[in-house]
Structure 1
Amino acid sequence: MEFYRSVSEFTMPTHERRFFLRPALSLAGVFSALLAISGCVSAASGTESSEPDIGKPLTTLSTKDLRLPLESYLPTAGQVREFDRARLVLVNRCMQRFAFSYKVDVPAVEGSTDSNSRRYGITDSSLAAKKGYGLATDAEAHPATPELGADEQTVLYGEGASSLDGRAVPEGGCLGEASRGLDAHSPKGADFTLTQQLAFTSFKQAQEDSRVRKVVKAWSDCMAEQGYHYANPLAPLSDPKLGDGTGADAIRTARVDLDCKTRTNLVGVSFTVESAYQQRLIKQSAELVKATKEARDARLRVADSLV
């Protein structure tokens, strides 16, 4: 549930950005979008004002082996790649009916396999010592996409003429046809984006929880003692003063950041509290998350048959 990756990867617009000539968000832009979205998303089936009991918070800095409850219902980064590849197979089959070809290589999943490595800010000490706030690899390479003529764009997107050379263009173009084919056996009403919204909701709820507010303030005060002034652990990730996040200043800031996280147990408290909110949301939205999991599994079966 890594924000800079999963904030939009489960939805069709991301696949359009990556493989169908749509622009991609920068890392800082994704974090800004995350904070904006998390501020306006509400729970799908109501909210409870009481703070859930969490018992004794986990003590940890690393999120490497941690999995939030909702992750059991959503695709992994590797599964998203399978969906991408299967979708492109279906798109190309459709395009071939119109004597066109659309072949794109799907890049391998790179970087950290820790799905929560930046949910509460940076958490990887060894990476931070080398790259500060930078990622383990360079920004994800976007595959080269074919040059499209006007007719090819009409067939791919379904925008423009409703037919070409006497053959009807599918609703939503070959892209729409491929999406419908990929989800042909998914339960009615299943929507990955709704369950993803629950993940944003849990993040927002946890950030408003008194125990998380307390530990974030402790982290912020700890940073301030060393001359670094940030309101929350996501703020350094989009600080323009740190440039691309990999310079000497960024590495020094990251070192203090992680030390303060260790001192305050920010990651352990945040993860424990958010897990409790996610369990509550799963209980409130049992049918929704069940349908999402069934849709994921159905989509995987289709993808396995194609790739």
Structure 2
Amino acid sequence: MSLSRARAAAALALLLATIAPACTAAEEEPAPAHRTTAPLAYANRQKGQLRLPLDAYGSTAAETYAVEDAQDLLMRRCMNQLGLEWQTLPRVAPGDIAPPNLRRYGVVPAEAARYGYHPRPDPPSVTRRDHAWDARGALPAAIQRAAYGTSGTGGCLKTAQHQLVGDTAPPDYDAFNRLTEAALKSSRRAPEVRDALRTWHACMAKAGLDYPDPLAAAGSPRWNTAGPTPTERRTARADAACQQSTKLVAVWAAAETRIQRRLIQRNGVRLRTAKARRDRWLAAAHRVLNRADH
């Protein structure tokens, strides 16, 4: 990441803010009285539509881009008032934005045969935006100071943020991050998920593969290569087939949904407060973008 992008990312506390109080951790899951699964979870994940309860309190990639874009427009106005030019970041096409939770439970079956466990290459509009961020790292020092101040959080960046939301504090995403991590860890220990993982493991063993779960398979250091190898693709295909035959994703998603709902109940006040702040940032960003587009 370039210096300018690092500064802007650090300053965009909307996405990185952390507040000290810890959240309630998820404990060992007891067996549910009725083991309901989500029959459409596997199919929906294929379409990028796997949603979990805590998603309502986080920020999607599209929302992140919206805040960045609005802030960038206000920065350009500030820089122009100083007699300086400022090239705004190219927009990311809606169809190029990755859906949430795509690899939460391991490899994406639709991508296994082609990419193995490697991520899909960035689409063109995402690549263009990344290149524009990198180009900012080569801006003259005087331009960078005007844009970010000497601290990296001042200058026109600070002005733009104040014009966007005034003194509104950035959302507290620490609550979301901690809880969603706790929910995933706890769901792996849920009895029905452990049963499904044992079945998945037995399925993989028939293909001569030995991994404790799909996350371990996806994270194997064997795949730290420039691109997917034939062995990686074969492993990923077997992994995806075993996930499908065991309905692992449906079972796992149902267990985590139950756990996340309980965590939301226990941490509702903090999550609702964070969501309200996030919504104010987003509403302000959309007002700026709508004015610019008309």
Q: Would you call these one fold, judging by a TM-score over 0.5?
A: yes
Using the TM superposition, give the Cα deviation of residue 89 of structure 1 relative to its aligned residue in structure 2, in angstroms.
Answer: 1.4
Structure 2 residue corresponding to 1:205, chosen from 164, 186, 190: 186
Determine whether 1:260 maps to 2:263: no
What is the SS of the residue equivalent to 2:5? coil
Cα distance in 2 for residues equivalent to 1:45 and 1:121: 26
Could you tell me which amino acid in structure 1 is paired with residue 106 of structure 2? G
Contact preservation (8 Å) 1:18, 1:143: no
Contact preservation (8 Å) 2:109, 2:241: no
Structure 2 residue corresponding to 1:44, chosen from 8, 14, 23: 23
Structure 1 residue corresponding to 2:42, chosen from 61, 65, 68: 61
Q: Deviations over 1:93-149 (max 9, x none)?
A: 333344333322233355575422210012333x32333334444374113233322
Q: Structure 1 residues 112 and 252 mapped into 2: Cα distance closer, same or farther (>3 Å)?
A: farther
Determine whether 1:226 maps to 2:211: no
Cα distance in 2 for residues equivalent to 1:124 and 1:281: 29
Determine whether 1:120 maps to 2:105: yes
Determine whether 1:84 maps to 2:84: no
Cα distance in 2 for residues equivalent to 1:88 and 1:22: 15
Runs of at least 5 residues in structure 2 that lack an aligned partner in the other structure: 8-19, 290-294
Contact preservation (8 Å) 2:146, 2:155: yes
Cα distance in 2 for residues equivalent to 1:260 and 1:135: 20
Contact preservation (8 Å) 2:25, 2:182: no
Could you tell me which amino acid in structure 2 is paired with residue 149 of structure 1? P
Could you tell me which amino acid in structure 1 is paired with residue 36 of structure 2? K
Worse overlay, 57-66 or 294-303: 57-66
Contact preservation (8 Å) 1:237, 1:245: no
Matches within 5 A, 1:277-292: 277-292=259-274
Q: Structure 1 residues 301 and 44 mapped into 2: Cα distance closer, same or farther (>3 Å)?
A: same
Using the TM superposition, give the Cα deviation of residue 42 of structure 1 relative to its aligned residue in structure 2, in angstroms.
Answer: 9.9
Worse overlay, 250-259 or 177-186: 177-186
Using the TM superposition, give the Cα deviation of residue 267 of structure 1 relative to its aligned residue in structure 2, in angstroms.
Answer: 0.6
Contact preservation (8 Å) 1:95, 1:102: yes
Using the TM superposition, give the Cα deviation of residue 232 of structure 1 relative to its aligned residue in structure 2, in angstroms.
Answer: 2.3
In the TM superposition, structure 1's runs of 4+ consecutive aligned residues that sit over 6 Å from their partners are none
Cα distance in 2 for residues equivalent to 1:292 and 1:18: 29
Task: Compute the RMSD of aligned alpha carbons.
Answer: 3.2
Alignment match, 1:4 = none
Q: Deviations over 1:184-227 (max 9, x none)?
A: 375x5741342233222211221233332332233233223312
Alignment match, 1:95 = 79
Scaled by the length of structure 1, the TM-score of the pair is: 0.72
Structure having the higher helix fraction is: 2
Scaled by the length of structure 2, the TM-score of the pair is: 0.75
Contact preservation (8 Å) 1:81, 1:109: no
Q: Structure 1 residues 150 and 247 mapped into 2: Cα distance closer, same or farther (>3 Å)?
A: same
What is the SS of the residue equivalent to 1:117? coil
Q: Structure 1 residues 239 and 180 mapped into 2: Cα distance closer, same or farther (>3 Å)?
A: farther
Contact preservation (8 Å) 2:26, 2:259: no
Runs of at least 5 residues in structure 1 that lack an aligned partner in the other structure: 1-16, 24-40, 161-169
